[in-house]
Amino acid sequence: MTDDDRLMTADDARTTASSEPAVDAPAADEPLLASDVMVDYRSRWEVIQQGFVDDPRNAVSEADNLVDDVLKRLSESFERQHQGLEKQWSDGEPSTEDLRSALQKYRAFFQRLLTL
């Protein structure tokens, strides 16, 4: 049995489908950033790259700032997910089903990070 099988058996899937609707976790192959945000970042990168010829030092400084912006955005995304999980558990000890769902969400987020 694989780790994925242990996390969600067929019985778990039936139980989940019949219980309260769960918040959908993004798929592992889904981008971490919205497409419009990625378009903006890519556009900003093109401007930086084109500016290198005229002002290499400034281009590197702007590249540093852009990468910092992207990392902050990713960190904020993780923090929102983390706070959402903590909020779900604020009423007491989470059930095994809640923990299984949380682990699946973390796994999806982790796998998405590794696709960068």
Examine residue 15 and state whether it is found in any structural domain, yes or no: no
Confidence of residue 98 (pLDDT cuts 50, 70, 90): confident
Examine residue 23 and state whether it is found in any structural domain, yes or no: no
Q: Which of 22, 28, 38, 35 is nearest to 84 (CA)?
A: 22
**Tally of structural domains, the chain:** 1
Examine residue 3 and state whether it is found in any structural domain, yes or no: no
2 pLDDT exceeds 60?
Answer: no
Q: Which of 63, 36, 38 is nearest to 48 (CA)?
A: 63
Examine residue 7 and state whether it is found in any structural domain, yes or no: no
Examine residue 61 and state whether it is found in any structural domain, yes or no: yes
Identify the pLDDT of residue 22. Answer: 42
25 pLDDT exceeds 80?
Answer: no
Residue at token pair 């973390």 = 106
Longest Cα separation, the chain = 62
Examine residue 88 and state whether it is found in any structural domain, yes or no: yes
Span 60-84, average pLDDT: 91
Examine residue 14 and state whether it is found in any structural domain, yes or no: no
Identify the pLDDT of residue 28. Answer: 53
Domain that holds residue 62: 35-114
Examine residue 60 and state whether it is found in any structural domain, yes or no: yes
